[in-house]
Amino acid sequence: MKKILYFLFLSVTVAIFSSCNIDEEITTALPPEMILDSDTGIYTVKEGREIVIAPNYESAEGATYSWTMNGEVLSTSPSLSFVGEEIGEYFIVVSVTTEGGTDSEEIRVDVIALEVPMVSIAGNKKQTVAIGTEVKLNATVRETTLQTSVVWSINGQPSATEEELSYIFKAETVGSYTITATAMNEDGKHSDSVQIEVVNAEDMPFVWEFDRTSYHTVVGRKLQIKPSSVSNGEGVVYTWQIDDCDKVVGDASFVFVADAAGEYTVTAMATAEKDGEQITLTHKFAVTAYVEGAFYRSKSGASKADWNKVYDYTPAPGQFINETKTGGFDGTQTTREAAIAYAETRMSQTKADGTPNPIWVSLGGFGGYIVVGFDHSIDNSGDYDLAILGNSFSGSSEPGIVWVMQDENGNGEPDDTWYELAGSETGKPETIQEYSVTYYRPTGTMMPVQWTDNLGNSGEIDYLAQFHRQDYYYPLWIEEDSYTLTGTCLEARNYDASGNGTYWVNVEYDWGYADNFSPIDRLTEGENANADANANHLKISNAIDFECEPIHLDYIDFVKVQVGVNAKSGWLGEVSTEVFGFYDYNMTK
């Protein structure tokens, strides 16, 4: 608008002078005009890189130029060479001046990060294997807009294997090997390595480890004492002894049954022959047996149907974990206590009038779980006793396995024995008991989370950059670089109904699971098209033990919900159980 008025004024002035000086030639300089080489006036350059901004100029004979930023002159040339050392937005005013006037423009330079690729190799960074053992290594690379390649090397020497994300290592010679995957593009490169120690088969270490030394149980119930890790146990003899009773030869695990209340000492020994010598590993366990009902907590007039405490919140990596918008995190959940407080806050939300209005808590991918308790013991009525709120609807079921526990030792903590509540899929060939998935912390931000399972499979929790921008799906409060979640895994029923990846359906299961659009235990025929909180109802009488045999519990004190499927549905992401809350259904009947 200013330019138009200036030209109008100039035209009037020339006309006046022309009328007074008919016989003279009047020469008036035209104002300069700047034409940017960007239609938007916005330029983009990567950090540390140089960008040259060179506008075109008209009527600029004898012009002077000025490029200023925050009052500082950057250049007096027609063009500007700019280097942004830090990521951010930079506003620069460029001016061109002649006798005819001045033209100015403000431009913006966006300095963005280099798209250096990040690569991560799944699995333990230090491994020991026997000669001839094949080790499959899987790498993942953070997506960039640049063409990226991945190469593998062994002890610094390039491998003959083609460039790909998987590599099979096999050594026929004893020694130490460093296997490295390097991702590279024009912006840079990044590497990740695994150390593999190759030994003779007879030198492989025997591992027989337990993650606890004390147990609680109830008289007459089966208690499984199971190692957390066991390997290379060929030829090992296991013996178990209860107090001063005779030793019993058995397996790496042991089933203990107390016939009376009291304290017991269980001694476990593993014996093997090596180089003509006998080697023995010994573990001792303290087991306390109680009479069922010793710590039963009766309801009172002040008792509430709803849960009253979250004891643990350990999700698997997932798209809503650490997410600050829909997920509701704020970046301060860097401790286990803060994560528990987050879950409690979400599920205890109320409306202005005080009525419950809980918000869902995501459990991430397979195995993610939450543990809650109540202000009283929930009785086993033989019918539906427990209700768990999810947000399932027709075509969207993300089943969570439900576990229950008695406070057998009366300490108010869920540190006793978990019993699964059987569902419609229990006992089917495709249902996997004691399925374990290990998740690995990514080496860089905005990368998929890799996983391996105890069946030799591997995969990723995809990073969905089109929907979420948190740095990591890996929970911020988990300090370890990997963690393992174990539970029951159902056969996935999700499928792509469109055939082109645009419409995914997560089919429901018959009964017995949280966040599942069950035609049976939802106790309603409503479609729940708005994905509101709606309950699945469960029976304590469906409890089973580690052998999938029925177990009778007069009551329970704690409940755990755990994601029961290891699957993902394209752009929808991983199949992930969500919970809103828990309540004693017996008190609402």
User: DSSP labels for 285-329?
Assistant: EEEEEE-TTTT-----TT--SB--EEEEEEPPS-TTTT-SSTT--
pLDDT of residue 261: 96
* C-alpha distance from residue 518 to each of 362, 416, 525 (Å): 20, 30, 10
The DSSP bridge partners found for residue 287 are 215, 264
pLDDT for 129 beyond 80: yes
Nearest to 78, CA basis, from 99, 100, 62, 101: 62
0.85 cut: is pTM over it? no
Which pLDDT band, with edges at 50, 70 and 90, does 31 fall under? very high
Fold type of domain 31-112: Immunoglobulin-like (2.60.40)
In the chain, % of residues over pLDDT 90: 83
pLDDT of residue 290: 96
pLDDT of residue 11: 39
Q: What's the start-to-end Cα distance of the chain, in Å?
A: 74
Which pLDDT band, with edges at 50, 70 and 90, does 164 fall under? confident
Q: Is 340 helix (H, G, I), strand (E, B) or coil?
A: helix
pLDDT of residue 284: 97
> Residue 77: how many CA atoms within 13 Å on its side-chain side?
9
Q: Using an 8 Å Cβ cutoff, are 373 and 309 in contact?
A: yes
Name the more confident of 555 and 159.
555
Which pLDDT band, with edges at 50, 70 and 90, does 588 fall under? very high
pLDDT of residue 163: 67
| Amino acid (one-letter) located at 305 | A
Residues of the chain with CATH 2.60.40.10: 31-112, 119-202, 205-290
pLDDT for 259 beyond 70: yes
Is CATH 2.60.40.10 the classification given to domain 119-202? yes
pLDDT tens, 303-324?
Answer: 999 999 999 999 999 999 999 9
pLDDT of residue 2: 33
pLDDT of residue 162: 60
pLDDT tens, 136-160?
Answer: 999 999 888 889 999 999 999 998 6
Q: Give me the sign of the Cα torsion angle 564, 567, 569, 574.
A: positive
Q: 296: which residues sit within 8 A by CB, 6+ positions away? A: 377, 554, 555
Is CATH 3.40.50.300 the classification given to domain 205-290? no
pLDDT for 354 beyond 80: yes
Which pLDDT band, with edges at 50, 70 and 90, does 577 fall under? very high
Sort strands 277-290 and 214-218 into parallel, antiparallel or unpaired.
parallel
pLDDT for 20 beyond 60: no
pLDDT of residue 222: 96
pLDDT for 241 beyond 90: yes
Distance, in Å, from the CA atom of 497 to the CA atom of 503, rounded to the nearest integer, reads 6
Q: Phi and psi of 378, rounded to 5°?
A: -95, 120
In the chain, % of residues over pLDDT 70: 94
pLDDT tens, 32-76?
Answer: 999 998 888 999 999 999 999 999 999 999 999 999 999 999 999
pLDDT tens, 415-440?
Answer: 999 999 999 999 999 999 999 999 99
pLDDT tens, 166-217?
Answer: 999 999 999 999 999 999 999 999 999 999 999 998 888 889 999 999 999 9
Which pLDDT band, with edges at 50, 70 and 90, does 27 fall under? low
Q: What would the mean pLDDT of 328-353 be, rounded to a whole number? A: 96
The region of weakest confidence among 270-284, 315-329, 449-463 is 270-284
pLDDT for 6 beyond 80: no
pLDDT of residue 187: 93
Q: Using an 8 Å Cβ cutoff, are 77 and 110 in contact?
A: no
pLDDT tens, 90-116?
Answer: 999 999 999 999 999 999 999 988 888
pLDDT of residue 28: 75
The region of weakest confidence among 24-33, 72-81, 386-395 is 24-33
pLDDT of residue 18: 38
Q: Distance of alpha carbon 48 from its chain centroid, rounded? A: 32
